[in-house]
Amino acid sequence: MTPFDTSLVPNGDILIGGEWRQGRAAPFASLYPADQSLNMEVSTASAEDAAEAVEKAHAAWKQGEWATMKPHLRALVLYRIADLIMQRHEALAQLQRRDNGKPIKETRVLVASAANTFRYFAACLETMDEEVTPSRGDYLTMSVYEPIGVIAAITPWNSPIASDAQKLAPALAAGNAVVLKPAEVTPLVSLALARICEEAGVPKGIVSVLPGKGSVIGDVLVRHPLVRKVSFTGGTEVGRGIARIAADKLMPVSLELGGKSPTMVFEDADIDHAVNGVLYGIFSSSGEACIAGSRLFVQRSIYDTFMKRLVEGARKLRVGDPSSENTQMGPLITAKHRESVERYVAIGLEEGGRLLCGGERPVGDQREHGFFYQPTILEGLKNSARICQEEIFGPVLVAMPFDDEAALIEEANDSVFGLAAGIWTRDYKRAWRVARKLEAGTVWINTYKLFSISTPFSGWKESGMGREKGRLGIREYMQQKSLYWGLNDAPLPWANA
């Protein structure tokens, strides 16, 4: 029996210019990371397919039905997408679980968040005002917003349905065509989402989905002259390469990149909440989260007691079968990625780190068939150590004591990344002071990893550029145009001179 509802992704076909068909590159065997069983063979796109998808997306967009549809009617299509996602909520959550191995409880939340993202941007679209700007003469001035054209949306494997929705919803709301390139290893949910878009009434050709190799298809998309904007979520090095190409094309680009986020626990913090929050911040999603709180700073006066409780908590985390309601941590995405996490732990130990827990694969049960790795905590390293500076993207936490606030802020900011941070303290004045000094796009205070579609998200420094989410998220996919309406009956004075 197939492990999920295959009607969501019939034949593993991909979507190119409104046509579901096989791609021209070699098919990809999608594996379940929990036991390496075959999900299905999925067709993948070639470079020629990618170019064809862009050209057909451009033709569909130029035809104008979607771009010029009245905003309240386009919003209706987005509301229908949200409804269809919720009608297939459980099936999509199971598909996402098979695709990337996240625990089912987490994938259910991600699917619901994708539906909410479409609803939110539908509401933004319906209620978005354009501006009449203050006139400085006998003319009326207006600022209006128009779609850009063909958008390439490139997404990573860690939360596919949520990342896809965060790009598709505002880009479609704004009246663009989208060529979506999911991560090579997680194509399933993106294909299912595209079928839903079609069924909801998005015109043919406005959405294409191209599973396959990023270095081939992604590259074709970024360089293609008819792609007018790239919205990318992924690693910093790939993002930097895209930005270089975009600079040559003078093309706008949004980049949501990597992180190495600091969490700091002050001696006056609510310790129960802080222990739970730190564990959740790093080990949920097996640490495969851009915003994972992977550097921990604990005030020295409570360091030993806090670390004892943290390690006890980490040892109790339930690592296992993603289909179980009880599981807190699933497997890592691939064998290769687990090896990279293992290499980083070895580097940490070579640099003088001490292992407090984890640092190994679970052994002796069925988890040996999957890519599991135990929650891992190290101490005894300086913030300058490689494993404190480089993104590991796995369940690995490095803990360090701190003495005073000023030095803490220096160390927390001593990173090329600036994605997120967490502060645990009961002193609201200190929380304010520290939060305002942190170089990060998001700061959580006495909480961690909470997300709201109505609040903008962005990375500072090498964690990215551009914004996603929030009311103005839709404007990232529009271009602004100024209109001047002459109101003077007399000709322009220069002509009369």
In the bound state with ligand NAD, the residue whose beta carbon lies nearer, of 144 and 472, is 472
Task: Label residues 317-328 b or e (16+ Cβ within 10 Å = b).
Answer: bebbbbeeeebb
Under the binding rule (CB under 6 A), the answer on residue 261 touching ligand NAD is no
The residue annotated as part of the active site, out of 52, 256, 288, 476, is: 256
For 130, which DSSP code? Answer: P
Under the binding rule (CB under 6 A), the answer on residue 466 touching ligand NAD is no
In the bound state with ligand NAD, the residue whose beta carbon lies nearer, of 306 and 393, is 393
* Residue 209-228 contact track with ligand NAD, rule CB under 6 A, x = bound: -----xx--xx--x------
Nearest residue to 90 (alpha-carbon basis) of 197, 198, 192, 200 = 192
- Whose structure tokens read 């020295």? 300
Distance CA 198, CA 188 (A): 16
In the bound state with ligand NAD, the residue whose beta carbon lies nearer, of 147 and 182, is 182
Nearest residue to 185 (alpha-carbon basis) of 332, 343, 392 = 332
Backbone angles phi, psi at 443, to 5 degrees: -125, 125
Contacts of 85 (CB under 8 A, 6+ apart): 92, 111, 114, 115, 118, 193, 196
Polymer length of the chain = 497
Under the binding rule (CB under 6 A), the answer on residue 393 touching ligand NAD is yes
Under the binding rule (CB under 6 A), the answer on residue 27 touching ligand NAD is no
Under the binding rule (CB under 6 A), the answer on residue 259 touching ligand NAD is yes
Q: How far is CA 220 from CA 46, 193, 217, in A?
A: 10, 23, 5
Q: Minimum distance between the CB of residue 216 and ligand NAD, rounded to whole angstroms?
A: 8
Q: Minimum distance between the CB of residue 458 and ligand NAD, rounded to whole angstroms?
A: 8
Under the binding rule (CB under 6 A), the answer on residue 201 touching ligand NAD is no
For 419, which DSSP code? Answer: S
Piece of 81-89, 127-135, 232-240, 445-453 that binds ligand NAD (CB under 6 A): 232-240
Distance CA 168, CA 193 (A): 10
Q: Minimum distance between the CB of residue 429 and ligand NAD, rounded to whole angstroms?
A: 30
Q: How far is CA 231 from CA 254, 302, 391, in A?
A: 5, 43, 21
In the bound state with ligand NAD, the residue whose beta carbon lies nearer, of 257 and 397, is 257
Distance CA 319, CA 148 (A): 45
Site for ligand NAD in 239-258 (CB under 6 A): 241-242, 256-258
- 256 given a catalytic annotation: yes
Calculate Rg over the CA atoms of the chain: 24
CB 143 within 8 A of CB 481: yes
Q: Minimum distance between the CB of residue 132 and ligand NAD, rounded to whole angstroms?
A: 35
- State the number of binding residues for ligand NAD (CB under 6 A): 30
Q: Minimum distance between the CB of residue 473 and ligand NAD, rounded to whole angstroms?
A: 13
Under the binding rule (CB under 6 A), the answer on residue 456 touching ligand NAD is no
Piece of 131-139, 156-164, 303-311, 407-415 that binds ligand NAD (CB under 6 A): 156-164
Q: Minimum distance between the CB of residue 100 and ligand NAD, rounded to whole angstroms?
A: 10
Site for ligand NAD in 134-153 (CB under 6 A): none
Q: Minimum distance between the CB of residue 77 and ligand NAD, rounded to whole angstroms?
A: 25
Contacts of 336 (CB under 8 A, 6+ apart): none
Q: DSSP of 367-384, one letter per residue?
A: GGGTT----EEEES--TT
Piece of 41-49, 142-150, 238-246, 428-436 that binds ligand NAD (CB under 6 A): 238-246
Under the binding rule (CB under 6 A), the answer on residue 61 touching ligand NAD is no
In the bound state with ligand NAD, the residue whose beta carbon lies nearer, of 155 and 263, is 155
In the bound state with ligand NAD, the residue whose beta carbon lies nearer, of 46 and 299, is 46
In the bound state with ligand NAD, the residue whose beta carbon lies nearer, of 158 and 328, is 158
Helices and strands (H and E) in the chain: how many: 15, 22
| Residue 492 burial (C-beta neighbours within 10 Å; 0-12, 13-18, 19+) | exposed
In the bound state with ligand NAD, the residue whose beta carbon lies nearer, of 177 and 333, is 333
Positions annotated as catalytic residues are 256
- Contacts with ligand NAD by CB under 6 A lie at 154-158, 181-184, 214-215, 218-219, 222, 233-235, 238, 241-242, 256-259, 290, 391, 393, 419, 459, 464
